[in-house]
Structure 1
Amino acid sequence: MTDPAILTIIVNWRTPGMTLKAAELALRAMKGLRGGIVIVDNNSGDGSFEHLSRAVAERGWDAEARVRVVQSGRNGGFGAGVNFGIRTGLASGEEPDFYYLLNSDAFPERDAIRVLCDFLLATPEAGFAGSFVRGADGEPHRTAFRFPSIASEFENGAMTGAISRMLERSVVAMPIPQGRGRVDWTAGASLMIRREVLDQVGTFDEAYFLYFEETDLCLRAARAGWSCYYVPESRVVHVGSVSTGLKSAERTPQYWFDSRLYYFIKNHGRLYATAATLAWIAGAGIWTVNRTLTRKPDRHRKGHMADLVSHALRQVIGRRGDGRGPARGALVEDRK
C-alpha cells in the first residue's frame, strides 16, 4: 500500500464553532493525503447541521466532496455517530484504508494525521494508532491506558500511595509514555484505525452512549490479534468534555455507570462485574478511612460511591437494564 485513502470522522453535538475549527485543522493536516472528511451531526437540534453545512459551502471545503456534513438523525452517542460516518464512507465510493477519528474539540497539528498513517503503514500488526494529546493550557493529557480490571477498580477506589504502587501495573491511566509503544487502548480524541480491524471485529458497539466504547473496541481487536500503539510524534490539542460537560459536572452522569457496568458484564461476565464493583467499594472504604485520618479533601466525585452502589443494586433487582447493554431510556435526560 503506497497511497492509502483516509476517512476523517468528526462527530458534532452542539459545538459547531469548535467542530469547524477541528475540521479546518484536519483539512490542513490532510493536505497531500487521499481521502476526505465527514462531519456527522448527531441530531443536535440547535441549528448545528444547517450552520455547519452553510459554513463548509461558504469556505469552499465541499469542492470535490473533500468535506461533507451529514445528519445522523439521532443522538446515539459517540460510537453511533462514528459508525454513521463509517457507513457514509468516502464520496468516491472507495473503501478507506484507514479511519481517523477526531473529537470536535480536538485540533491536530499539521502532520498529526500523516504521522499516524505512516506508522500504520510501517507496522502491519498495529490496528490502532493514537496521538499525544495536550490541553489548551499546554498540559499533557493521559491518553495511554490499560484495560480495566478488578485490580484497577480497587486501586481507583483506594487512591492511596502504597496501594497504587503495589498495583502500578494495573492502573488504567498509564504514565505518559516518552516514546512510541504498545498500550491496551488509547483515547478516541485522535485515533487512527485500520479498516481490516473493523472488517474483522465490527465497528463500535452502539450500546455504549459515551465512555468505554474505545476500550471495548480495542479489547475485541486485541483478542483477535491486533495491537494498539501510542505515537507521540502525532500531536493534538484537546479542550476536552465540551459536549458532555463531564469535567464540570457535580456528579458522574448515569450513562457513565451504564457503560462501565456493561463493559464488565459484556467482556468478563456478571460475576466479574460484581467483583469489580465490590473491589471499588472496598478501595473507597480504605480511602475514606485514610482521608478521615489525614483530613485530605475527597478526590472522588460527589456522591460517586452512593451512585455506583445504587446503580449496581438497580441492575440486580432488574430496574435498570437487562445486562445486554445500558438502559437506553436512562440516557435521555443525561445527554441533553
Structure 2
Amino acid sequence: MDLSIIVVNYNTKNFLLSCIKSVKKNTKGIVYEIIVIDNASTDGSADILKRLKGRLFKITINRQNQGFAKANNQGIKIAAGRYILLLNPDTAIEDNVLGEMINYMDNNPKVGIVSCALKGNNGKIQATGGYFPNLARVFSWMFFLDDIPLLDRLIKPFHPMHEKSFFYRGESFFRNAGLRDWVTGAFYLLRRPVLDEVGLLDEDYFMYTEEVDLCFRAKQKGWEVWYLPKWAIVHFGGASSASEFPIISEYKGVKTFYKKHMPSWQTLVLRLLLKVGAVLRIILFGILKGGSYVKIYAKAFQVA
C-alpha cells in the first residue's frame, strides 16, 4: 500500500463526497486507501458513509467530536500505507497530484513532510504554513508588524501575510517552493518513518497548531519540511469552523506549544504578548468591524 488518505469529517457531507470523488477520478499509478473519521456529525454524514463499501474505504464514526488531532490519530493507527496524507474534506484533488507527490517523496528520502499549494475556488493561492512561533514572531504577529512589507523578510512570520491584510502579498510568497518550518494540516503528506520516530499528533491540541507541533518534532530529528507549489489542490476553506473557533483555538494552541517546547519564562512572555495583542484587536477591530470581534478577542484575552 503506497498511500493512506485520512479525511476527518465534521458536518461537511457534501464537501466530503466531492473530495472522495476527486481522489478516485484523478489519482493514478499508486495503490491507496481512503480512511474517513466522522467526528459525530449531525448533518447525515454517517448515513452516507455507511454506504461506502469496498476495500478502498475504512470508516470510523465517533459518537463525540474528538477533535482534529485525535481523529487523525485514529486513522493513522489503522492506516496501511507507506505514506500518510491528512486531507481536509473541503478540498478537491486535481490532476495526478497524489501520484506525482508520492514519486517526489520516493526520490527525496530526507523530506519527511510536504504540502502543495492550496487554491481557493476563486483560483487564488492561499496561505499554507510558515515558521515556528518564536517570541520575535509572536511579537510581530500581535503588533501587526508581519503585515508590513519587507519587515517579514527580517522576521520570518509565523503565518505569512493573510489575505485580509491591507498589505497582502502572500500569493507571491506562496508561489515559490522552499523549506518551511511547518505546513498546514489541510494537505499534510508525511512518510511513516516520521511517525515511527516522533510519534503521533499530540492530542492536547483539539484543533489548530497540532501540525506545527508535529513539524517541530520532526525537524528536531533532522527531517525536512517542504512546500511544493508545483502541485496544487482546491481548498474551499473554513467549511468546518465558525469564525470565533479558529481564533480562540490558535491562541490556545500556541500557548500549548510553548508549554511543551519552550522554557517557562518564555511561556510567561508569550501569554503577555497574546493578551496585549488581544487588547489591541478589541480596540482596533471594535472600531473597524463592530461588536462581534470585540467579543471574540475578549474571549481570546481570557484564554491567553
TM-score calculated relative to the size of structure 2: 0.85
1:83 partnered with 2:73: yes
Q: What's the C-alpha RMSD, in Å, of the aligned pairs?
A: 2.8
The correspondence for 2:302, drawn from 306, 310, 314, is 310
Rounded to whole Å, the distance in 2 between the matches of 1:164 and 1:278 is 26
TM-score calculated relative to the size of structure 1: 0.78
Structure 2 residues without counterparts, runs of 5 or longer: 161-169
1:158–1:239 CA distance, 2 compared to 1 (3 A): same
Aligned to 1:140: 125
Contact 1:128 1:193 in 2 (8 A): yes
Structure 1 residues without counterparts, runs of 5 or longer: 91-95, 313-336
1:161–1:211 CA distance, 2 compared to 1 (3 A): closer
1:259 partnered with 2:262: no
**Larger radius of gyration between Structure 1 and Structure 2:** 1
**Segment of structure 1 superposing worse, 102-111 or 278-287:** 278-287
1:171 partnered with 2:151: no
Aligned to 1:6: 3
Contact 2:4 2:32 in 1 (8 A): yes
In the TM superposition, residue 112 of structure 1 has moved relative to its aligned partner by: 1.4
| AA in 2 matched with 1:52 | L
In the TM superposition, residue 186 of structure 1 has moved relative to its aligned partner by: 0.6
Instruction: Calculate percent identity across the aligned residue pairs.
Output: 26
Rounded to whole Å, the distance in 1 between the matches of 2:206 and 2:3 is 25
1:220 partnered with 2:211: no
1:165–1:297 CA distance, 2 compared to 1 (3 A): farther
Aligned to 1:229: 226
SS in 1 for 2:226: strand
In the TM superposition, residue 262 of structure 1 has moved relative to its aligned partner by: 0.9
Rounded to whole Å, the distance in 2 between the matches of 1:310 and 1:223 is 32
Contact 1:155 1:280 in 2 (8 A): no
Structure 2 matches for 1:87-102, cutoff 5 A?
87-90=77-80, 96-102=81-87
| AA in 1 matched with 2:259 | I
Contact 2:251 2:274 in 1 (8 A): no
Rounded to whole Å, the distance in 2 between the matches of 1:272 and 1:105 is 36
The correspondence for 1:18, drawn from 15, 20, 43, is 15
Rounded to whole Å, the distance in 1 between the matches of 2:227 and 2:275 is 31
In the TM superposition, residue 287 of structure 1 has moved relative to its aligned partner by: 7.8
Contact 2:112 2:225 in 1 (8 A): yes
1:231–1:47 CA distance, 2 compared to 1 (3 A): same
Across the two proteins, how many residue pairs are aligned to each other? 291
In the TM superposition, residue 223 of structure 1 has moved relative to its aligned partner by: 0.7
In the TM superposition, residue 101 of structure 1 has moved relative to its aligned partner by: 1.4
